[in-house]
Amino acid sequence: MPVNYSTPSPDQLLPVAGIRLGVASAGIRKANRRDLTLLELAPGSRVAGVFTQNRFCAAPVQLCRKHLGSGAIGSIRALIINTGIANAGTGESGLAAARKTCTALASLLAISESQVLPFSTGVIMEALPVDRLVAGLPACQAALSADGWHDAAHAIMTTDTVAKAASRSVNIDGRKIAVTGISKGAGMIEPNMATMLGFVATDAAVSQDLLERLVQEAADESFNCITVDGDTSTNDSFVLIASGAAGNEEIKDAASAGYVALSQAVVAVARELAQAIVRDGEGATKFIEIKVGGGNSPEECRQVGYAIAHSPLVKTAFFASDPNLGRILAAIGNAGIEDLDVTRVKLWLGDILVSENGGRSPGYREEDASRVMAAAEIIVQVDLGRGSRESRIWTCDLSYDYVKINADYRS
């Protein structure tokens, strides 16, 4: 059961002019399950992406990087996404399978292999059944529709318990611009369902330079702020598409009102998709926002936020609604800031000041913290007392069910 999240209905997801989606059941790993998703992009659509930093990055990720890096701007015409098998840890044969996927789709759509971006998510170190995948492509093509977002959100799920999608509409130069996206993931890395995929599209016209800036900016404000269990998967990908079909004058200037409006909408969609992943985190019963301020840099604030969010002890305490908050102090002290003066650190749980001057705050009463911890949504706030920068992380608790899901998966 996700924490305060449900999938938007199909009519809440705005079509994006220039983008059509189609899904099919190709039997990649299981029969009778939608596991193949095609995104068709109008000619001239621009695409930018950010990908996993894991050195064991999956074969499709390697091809995505190559095709995005080599082709002319605006040349990408299709994205193909399979679930079931991650095609990671599969060596040369995995790369050949990903290439074959692109070739087959290119031939079907009368484009070239390098105009296709492939994505896979599922079990690591098992071979992609590329023939079954290729056999499913015509069904995807036949299903292509501008209203395919809702179906696509479902077809890219693996251990997700809920499909994740979000939409915003924004006015730029008097034109109504749509921003719609989908994501999947139920851990930064799931069982070994490698893992986080996010696709966001807009019909706005925007320069390639700004699109690349925006995809990084949006990732930093969304998918790069979440953690379930601290692992980074072999397949993590976040792609931003701008079809330009809305007909606005191309946005070229980061200071322009158009860029500001578009980036706000894209960040909002990406953040909703990212938070949905945490809300649907494996075994999650609580959604926790960790705000760290008073730092010398956003990076050190993130470091502290992640130290708290990754601590199994902090996460189990949240699961138990036990205000065992010394664990948070220990995590802060353990975050790797060499010259942290702990006597200047302050810690709040919700609006309760828990700790200051290196110890328990005089006014702190455990029953107040218990009340905050009983809620399904909790804010932890830390002031490092050494600067004015801040950062924020979203995470979930660690429950019996996390172990159950990850121990039982596959069997």
Considering beta carbons, is residue 97 or 201 the nearer one to a second copy? Answer: 97
Q: Which of 232, 256, 296, 303 binds a second copy (CB under 8 A)?
A: 232
- Checking DSSP bridges between strand 346-349 and strand 237-242, what pairing results, if any? unpaired
In angstroms, the CA 266 to CA 202 distance is: 8
| Min dist. Cβ of residue 358 to a second copy (A) | 4
CB of 192 to a second copy, least distance (A): 5
What dihedral do alpha carbons 251, 252, 256, 260 form, nearest 10°?
60
* 195 is annotated as an active-site residue: yes
Q: Out of 358, 363, 375, 376, point to the residue binding a second copy (CB under 8 A).
A: 358
Stretch that binds a second copy, among 72-80, 150-158, 161-169, 231-239 (CB under 8 A): 231-239
CA distance linking residue 290 with residue 273, whole number of Å: 18
Among 180, 233, 263, 395, binds a second copy (CB under 8 A): 233
Q: Kindly tell me which of 246 and 290 has the beta carbon lying closer to a second copy.
A: 290
Gap between the Cα atoms of 33 and 51, Å rounded: 27
Among 322, 346, 368, 371, binds a second copy (CB under 8 A): 322
Q: Which is nearer to a second copy, 149 or 364 (CB)?
A: 364
Q: Could you write out the DSSP letters of every residue in 47-99?
A: EEEEE---TT--HHHHHHHHHHHHSPTT---EEEEEEEE---S-HHHHHHHHH
For helices 59-70 and 91-109, what crossing angle results, to 10°?
Answer: 50
Q: Which of 106, 261, 342, 379 binds a second copy (CB under 8 A)?
A: 342
Of 10 and 358, CB closest to a second copy: 358
Which of the residues 37, 159, 195, 202 is marked catalytic? 195
Window contacting a second copy (CB under 8 A); options: 30-38, 144-152, 175-183, 332-340: 332-340
Residues in 41-70 at the binding interface with a second copy, rule: CB under 8 A:
53-57
With CA atoms as reference, report the closest residue to 98 among 122, 70, 130, 132.
Answer: 130
- 147-186: contacts with a second copy (CB under 8 A): none
Q: Does 10 bind a second copy (CB under 8 A)?
A: no
Give the interface size with a second copy as a residue count (CB under 8 A). 71
Determine if 370 is a binding residue for a second copy (CB under 8 A). Answer: no
Length of the chain: 411
Q: Is residue 106 classed exposed, middle or buried when 0-12, 13-18 and 19+ CB atoms within 10 A define those classes?
A: middle
Q: How near is the Cβ of 333 to a second copy at its closest, in Å?
A: 3
Site for a second copy in 380-409 (CB under 8 A): 398-400, 402-404, 406-409
Among 329, 349, 373, 396, binds a second copy (CB under 8 A): 329
Integer Cα distance of 105 and 102 in angstroms: 5
Question: Is 92 near a second copy (CB under 8 A)?
Answer: yes
| Dist CA 166 CA 126 (whole Å) | 32
Query: Candidates 72-80, 102-110, 117-125, 167-175 — which segment interacts with a second copy by CB under 8 A?
Result: 117-125
Sheet holding 287-295, edge to edge: 226-227, 389-396, 287-295, 377-383, 346-349, 352-356, 359-360
Please report the DSSP string for 338-396 in residue order.
TT--GGG-EEEETTEEEEETTEE-TT--HHHHHHHHTSSEEEEEEE-SS-SEEEEEEEE
The yes or no reply on residue 115 touching a second copy (CB under 8 A) is no
Within 241-300, the residues that bind a second copy by CB under 8 A are none
Single out the residue of 4, 93, 171, 297 in contact with a second copy (rule: CB under 8 A): 93
Interaction of residue 90 with a second copy, rule CB under 8 A: yes
**How far is the C-alpha of 183 from the C-alpha of 149, rounded, in Å?**
11
Interaction between residue 129 and a second copy (CB under 8 A): no
Beta pairing class for 359-360 and 377-383: unpaired
The residue (of 73 and 407) whose beta carbon lies closer to a second copy is 407
Q: What angle do CA 279, 118, 78 make, to 5 degrees?
A: 100
The answer to whether residue 189 forms part of the interface with a second copy (CB under 8 A) is yes
By annotation, the residues acting in catalysis are 195
